[in-house]
């Protein structure tokens, strides 16, 4: 590798061919920001600058970067056996990982279906929900309910139940039979709530209204992020998730929590399920599952769901669904090593212990220029900025660029700065993240 970070110096800095996801390709390729190394709390740029990671990559490197234990497990597995199918065959690591995972989940969320991403986890959970009702003779329950401002990845199912206009508008009718409840974000009533806002539990009753509109006999499942991450850290109002659970129970609707971001310690507990004490029927995960080292997702299902397929299908394959790489050996061992690190270093407890310091540091920005709301839970935070008149999102994007130039990685979504550091973060890092944002906000118009 040369000092530009590229392995093939005969085409130095050629950025053309890679069509970058969710990126302003024209802007990036004019002024690229490349990362070429990562260790613990920092990225490194090709010119040797260290960037403090305030976002755990993309909400995913919860144990920090460059963790040797995970790298060694991947290498050992690659040497031993690179790949084995999990269709009518198996290999030990996938079973071991599933067993280790269900030790972390509360209640009877004790069966795991492996995928390769959060998007695949969302679509898998939606398909399992449809199949669950079908095998029980309730095949009319096909409607899927999502929520405005929800993000469940970019496959067709997740896009359909998702609630982000830009992600939907290019793609026609998406899948049919989907409806949405309102999001819970209300800045007039809930701005500057520390933790869960007091107002808004009643918004869960939107689900009851949809039952009255469509009839419960047509509704299969409702899916929500316990804390909506991608649309700017929207913390659920007190009592909201429990109310959703009650409505689902009343009408035999499966409740799915998308914990792709909130899983694996982000909220100071293994899952949001534990943090909020509300048990859904399925939990979708990815990201922190393998510390993002090898792509993998997992859907946790309550025993009644798994049992329904086994009890109500003729002998043979019970669920016609799966991926070539479901339970891939390299991902499975990476996941096991990741769980070891989480446990050995007490990272979920660490996130809980640091969340007060995190909150206070965030709150130091109250009253700063442009800041119209601050939100936080566990080691997540959202800083909502007033949009620049006539140029929505520009102010946040400029803040992102300026923070990067100052050596701190933040993430922006719309006019919101979203933060989610690796759980190994220290108080001095927290200070630096918020000091840098505060300093940059003073200079951004």
Ligand X SMILES: Cc1ncc(COP(=O)(O)O)c(C=O)c1O
Instruction: Rank residues 119 and 196 by Cβ distance to ligand X and give the closer one.
Output: 119
Instruction: Rank residues 131 and 157 by Cβ distance to ligand X and give the closer one.
Output: 157
Shortest Å distance, C-beta 266 to ligand X: 11
Report the interface residues with ligand X, using CB under 6 A. 59, 117-119, 122, 151-153, 225, 229-230, 258, 260-261, 286
DSSP string over 179-213: EEEPP---HHHHTT-SSS-SS-GGGGHHHHHHHHH
Shortest Å distance, C-beta 328 to ligand X: 14
**Spatial strand order in the sheet of 42-44:** 37-39, 42-44, 50-53, 408-409
CA 402-405-406 angle, to 5 degrees, is 90
Shortest Å distance, C-beta 228 to ligand X: 8
Shortest Å distance, C-beta 181 to ligand X: 16
CB 402 within 8 A of CB 440: yes
Instruction: Rank residues 122 and 365 by Cβ distance to ligand X and give the closer one.
Output: 122
Shortest Å distance, C-beta 297 to ligand X: 6
CB neighbour list of residue 437: distance below 8 Å, 6 or more residues apart = 365, 383, 399, 403, 408, 410, 417
Do the strands 50-53 and 408-409 form a parallel or antiparallel pair, or are they unpaired?
parallel
Q: How far apart are CA 56 and CA 182, in angstroms?
A: 29
Instruction: Rank residues 219 and 299 by Cβ distance to ligand X and give the closer one.
Output: 299
Q: How far apart are CA 7 and CA 199, in angstroms?
A: 53
**Spatial strand order in the sheet of 254-258:** 111-115, 297-301, 282-285, 254-258, 219-224, 143-147, 178-181
* Torsion sign (Cα): 43, 357, 188, 436: negative
Q: How far apart are CA 273 and CA 265, in angstroms?
A: 11
Shortest Å distance, C-beta 396 to ligand X: 17
Instruction: Rank residues 57 and 370 by Cβ distance to ligand X and give the closer one.
Output: 57
Pick left, alpha or beta for residue 84 (phi over 0 → left; psi -120 to 50 → alpha; otherwise beta).
beta
Instruction: Rank residues 64 and 232 by Cβ distance to ligand X and give the closer one.
Output: 232
Whose CA is closest to 146, among 169, 130, 166, 126?
Answer: 126
Instruction: Rank residues 98 and 272 by Cβ distance to ligand X and give the closer one.
Output: 272
Q: How far apart are CA 177 and CA 146, in angstroms?
A: 11
Instruction: Rank residues 370 and 411 by Cβ distance to ligand X and give the closer one.
Output: 411
Shortest Å distance, C-beta 254 to ligand X: 17
Give the single-character DSSP code of 226. Answer: S
Shortest Å distance, C-beta 292 to ligand X: 9
Shortest Å distance, C-beta 158 to ligand X: 6
Q: Which residue is nearest to ligand X (CB)?
A: 118
Instruction: Rank residues 122 and 371 by Cβ distance to ligand X and give the closer one.
Output: 122
Instruction: Rank residues 105 and 230 by Cβ distance to ligand X and give the closer one.
Output: 230
Shortest Å distance, C-beta 289 to ligand X: 10
Torsion of CA 396, 32, 56, 323, to 10 degrees: 110
First and final CA of the chain: distance in angstroms? 39
Alpha helices in 61-186 (DSSP H): 68-80, 92-102, 118-135, 156-161, 165-169
């Amino acid at each position: 590798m040369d000092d530009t970070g590229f392995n093939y110096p005969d085409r130095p800095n050629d950025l053309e061919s890679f069509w970058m996801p969710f990126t302003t390709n024209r802007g990036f390729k004019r002024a690229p920001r490349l990362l070429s190394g990562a260790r613990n709390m920092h990225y490194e740029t090709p010119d040797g600058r260290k960037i403090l990671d305030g976002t755990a990559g993309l909400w995913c490197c919860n144990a920090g970067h460059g963790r040797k234990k995970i790298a060694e497990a991947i290498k050992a597995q690659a040497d031993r056996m690179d790949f084995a199918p999990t269709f009518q065959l198996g290999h030990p690591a996938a079973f071991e990982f599933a067993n280790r995972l269900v030790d972390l989940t509360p209640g009877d969320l004790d069966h795991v279906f492996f995928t390769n991403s959060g998007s695949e986890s969302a679509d898998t959970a939606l398909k399992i929900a449809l199949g669950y009702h079908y095998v029980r003779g309730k095949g009319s329950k096909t409607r899927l309910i999502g929520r405005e401002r929800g993000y469940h990845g970019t496959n067709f199912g997740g896009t359909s139940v998702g609630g982000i206009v830009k992600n939907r508008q290019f793609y026609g009718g998406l899948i049919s039979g989907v409806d949405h409840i309102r999001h819970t974000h209300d800045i007039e009533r809930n701005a500057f709530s520390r933790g869960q806002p007091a107002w808004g539990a009643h918004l869960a009753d939107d689900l009851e209204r949809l039952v009255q509109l469509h009839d419960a006999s047509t509704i299969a499942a409702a899916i929500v992020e316990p804390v909506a991450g991608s649309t700017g850290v929207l913390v659920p109002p007190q009592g909201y998730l429990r109310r959703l659970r009650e409505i689902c129970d009343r009408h035999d609707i499966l409740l799915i929590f998308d914990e792709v971001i909130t899983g694996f310690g982000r909220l100071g507990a293994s899952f949001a399920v534990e943090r909020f004490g509300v048990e859904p029927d399925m939990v979708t995960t990815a990201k922190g599952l393998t510390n993002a080292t090898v792509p993998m997702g997992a859907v946790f299902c309550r025993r009644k769901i798994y049992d329904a397929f086994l009890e109500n299908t003729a002998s043979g394959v019970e669920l016609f669904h799966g991926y070539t790489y479901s339970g891939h050996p390299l991902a499975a061992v990476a996941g096991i090593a990741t769980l070891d690190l989480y446990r050995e270093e007490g990272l979920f407890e660490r996130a809980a212990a640091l969340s007060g310091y995190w909150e206070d540091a965030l709150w130091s920005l109250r009253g700063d220029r442009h800041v119209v709301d601050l939100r936080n839970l566990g080691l997540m935070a959202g800083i909502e900025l007033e949009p620049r008149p006539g140029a929505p999102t520009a102010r946040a994007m400029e803040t992102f660029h300026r923070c990067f130039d100052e050596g701190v990685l933040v993430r922006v979504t719309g006019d919101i700065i979203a933060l989610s550091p690796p759980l190994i973060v220290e108080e001095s890092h927290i200070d630096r993240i918020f000091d840098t944002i505060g300093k940059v906000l003073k200079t951004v118009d």
